[in-house]
Amino acid sequence: MFKKALRAARASIAIAVTLVALPAPAAASADGVRITRAEAGLGGVVRAGRWAPVRVTLESLADDVAGELRVTWGGSTVRRHIALPSPGTWEFDLYIRTADAPPSMQIAVSSGSMNARSVTITTATPQPGAAFNLCVVSGQALSTDTSRCSAVMRPAELPHSVLGYDAIDRVTWMAQEADVPLAQRGALSAWRSLQGLDQAGDLSLTPSVTTPVVRAGLPADTARLVTLEIGGLVTGLLAIGFLSTTRALRLGNACLLAGTAGAVGIAAAAGTGRIGAPDPIHIRHASLLQQIPGTPSSRLTVRGIADFPAFGAFSVTLPIDAAMLQTSGPSAREERVFDEAGHPRFGGRYGLGARRGFSAEAMLDLQPLAVMSSEKRVTVSNRSALHLLGCRFGEGFASGGAITLRPGESVEAERVMDGIGPVLTCRHEGAPLTRFDGGDRQIESTGTTVIAVYERRDAPPVDGLTDRHEAEVGR
């Protein structure tokens, strides 16, 4: 009796905390725009070191409002540029992660010349060591027993990206109808598939990506230019010196020529990387594309280094929704910047030949390889236009060495024992399988992408789902 009462009391507190934490405590406004609603985490619950979804609703009071939405949580900041063309209500989904999970998150909006106005959202964390159980309830089912829930959400409130499910361990379905919108359905399905791979140990046996090693010093193209400039200057000066010492040049002419050589050298040095056609930004990368079985999507992880060809302002954008782009640096603070379209970018004012390391994560609707398996045999086909090199079957398969898979080709292997890890990994040389946008500068990418394809594993069950609902939500 006592346990039942305690459970009921916990359930009431969980729902109360969740529902109270959902709306922003007060509206905050800046020049022509105000925050009308803000929600953080899954039903207000977050976890340290895991992505937390943040949904902010803005009300624009004027035409063509431009500004910035900023979310700060512990040592992390997310800045989203906003451009609201007309008065109305606009909703933004952001994702933020921080190593510690402080109990509050600041959300601010700034516009025009007005200073940022902010609201603070209180967040909760699950008990240490306890699993994060997300309960999805419909509007009619709020009275259901939610004592086992860490957080409670309605189907329409679920995150649109698989990143949003990073914090949870399991989902309990309490909705009367599987009323999950399409975007959330795909994200939940990808999360379940990844959970299955993770629990089976497949992900841990996948080759990891590390930032490419780059020779110290100036990038090769820049070094060639500087060598040419310095070499030309020294040669010119020595030639003037030779003519002066042999008395072929009078003092005035020698001074004039030496001055001209110095001025040309300075002008050439100042114009390095700027004169003529703009040199491209070079990106060297090591990437991993993990095909998520049972979905049309893949998870792309990129570690790269960008070389900037001149002294000036540059930006690099990854034009994919809900992607992440993070530069590496000595600062303990993390800051992620998103443009008006919600695409992550990094940039700033960089020196000639400066290098910037970065990492990127994105979900792509791309699966270059198709896996067909029967009792003992597995066939993998290259259905892309990519020339795939060094393809190797994983643990548990009897196969020869590395082979090349041209577009349309297939490779078959026999399973001799149970194994974990990817079924097949292949290599693709060249640009990563998504493009980066450098604005008015071209981007040239070189590097290796490892493509890993997995067999489908049993996804963790979604409690409370009927077969029909489960099929809709994940399988």
Partner 1 sequence: MIAALAWRDATIIVRTPGYWAAVGTYALLLGLFVLIWGGGLPVLAGSALDQIAVIQLGALVALLPWTAIRCSDTSTDEVRLLATVTASPPSLIVGVRCVVTALSLCALVCMGLPAMVVAQQMSAAPAGEIAAAVAPALGMCALVGILAVSSALMVPSRLGGWVLATAATAAAIYSVPSWASPSAWFVGLAVVGLAGLALLERGRA
Residue 388's alpha-carbon distances to 208, 232, 365, 426, in angstroms, are: 18, 45, 19, 6
Residue 81 beta carbon to partner 1: minimum distance, rounded to whole angstroms: 23
CA dist 167 and 174 (Å) reads 19
Q: Which is nearer to partner 1, 251 or 277 (CB)?
A: 251
Map residue 120 onto helix, strand or coil.
strand
Q: Which stretch binds partner 1 (CB under 8 A): 57-65, 139-147, 325-333, 351-359?
A: 351-359
Q: Which stretch binds partner 1 (CB under 8 A): 51-59, 102-110, 260-268, 323-331?
A: 260-268
- The reply to whether 244 sits near partner 1 by the rule CB under 8 A is yes
- The reply to whether 213 sits near partner 1 by the rule CB under 8 A is no
Q: DSSP of 301-336, one letter per residue?
A: EEEEEEEP-SSEEEEEE--STT-EEEE--S-S-EEE
Of 258, 364, 371, 389, the one binding partner 1 by CB under 8 A: 258
Q: Which is nearer to partner 1, 265 or 396 (CB)?
A: 265
Residue 80, H or E segment: strand 76-84
Residue 223's alpha-carbon distances to 144, 229, 350, 389, in angstroms, are: 69, 10, 17, 32
Q: Which is nearer to partner 1, 36 or 211 (CB)?
A: 211
In the sheet where 410-415 sits, what is the strand order? 369-373, 377-382, 410-415, 397-398
The site for partner 1, by CB under 8 A, has a size of: 39
- The reply to whether 257 sits near partner 1 by the rule CB under 8 A is no
Residue 290's alpha-carbon distances to 26, 98, 140, 368, 426, in angstroms, are: 42, 24, 39, 10, 11
Helix 220-245 to helix 251-270 angle, to the nearest 10 degrees? 180
Residue 294's alpha-carbon distances to 155, 189, 424, 453, 471, in angstroms, are: 21, 8, 16, 11, 11
Q: Which of residues 222-241 bind partner 1 (CB under 8 A)?
A: 223, 226-227, 229-231, 233-234, 237-238, 240-241
Q: Which stretch binds partner 1 (CB under 8 A): 259-267, 318-326, 417-425, 458-466?
A: 259-267
Task: Give residue for tokens 């590395």.
Answer: 402
Of 251, 277, 332, 385, the one binding partner 1 by CB under 8 A: 251
Name which of 195, 214, 26, 16 is nearest 109 in CA terms: 26
Q: Which is nearer to partner 1, 232 or 390 (CB)?
A: 232
Residue 339 beta carbon to partner 1: minimum distance, rounded to whole angstroms: 23
Q: Which is nearer to partner 1, 222 or 298 (CB)?
A: 222
Q: Which is nearer to partner 1, 313 or 416 (CB)?
A: 313
CA dist 342 and 319 (Å) reads 8
Of 27, 254, 364, 370, the one binding partner 1 by CB under 8 A: 254
- The reply to whether 245 sits near partner 1 by the rule CB under 8 A is yes
Q: Which is nearer to partner 1, 92 or 311 (CB)?
A: 311
Of 127, 247, 330, 468, the one binding partner 1 by CB under 8 A: 247
Residue 235 beta carbon to partner 1: minimum distance, rounded to whole angstroms: 9
Site track for partner 1 across 329-348, x = CB under 8 A = --------------------
- Dihedral Cα 220, 222, 223, 225, nearest 10 deg: 120
Q: Which is nearer to partner 1, 270 or 398 (CB)?
A: 270
- The reply to whether 134 sits near partner 1 by the rule CB under 8 A is no
Neighbours of 181 (CB within 10 A): 12
- The reply to whether 408 sits near partner 1 by the rule CB under 8 A is no
107: CB partners within 8 A, 6+ apart: 24, 28, 35, 38, 40, 54, 56, 69, 70, 71, 72, 118, 119, 120, 121
Q: Which stretch binds partner 1 (CB under 8 A): 18-26, 154-162, 254-262, 422-430?
A: 254-262
Q: Which is nearer to partner 1, 264 or 366 (CB)?
A: 264
- The reply to whether 272 sits near partner 1 by the rule CB under 8 A is yes
Q: Which is nearer to partner 1, 30 or 240 (CB)?
A: 240
- H helices, E strands: number in the chain: 5, 26
Residue 212 beta carbon to partner 1: minimum distance, rounded to whole angstroms: 16
Name which of 352, 350, 351 is nearest 221 in CA terms: 352
Contact footprint for partner 1 (CB under 8 A): 216-218, 223, 226-227, 229-231, 233-234, 237-238, 240-242, 244-245, 247, 251, 254-255, 258, 261-262, 265-266, 268-270, 272, 310-311, 349-354
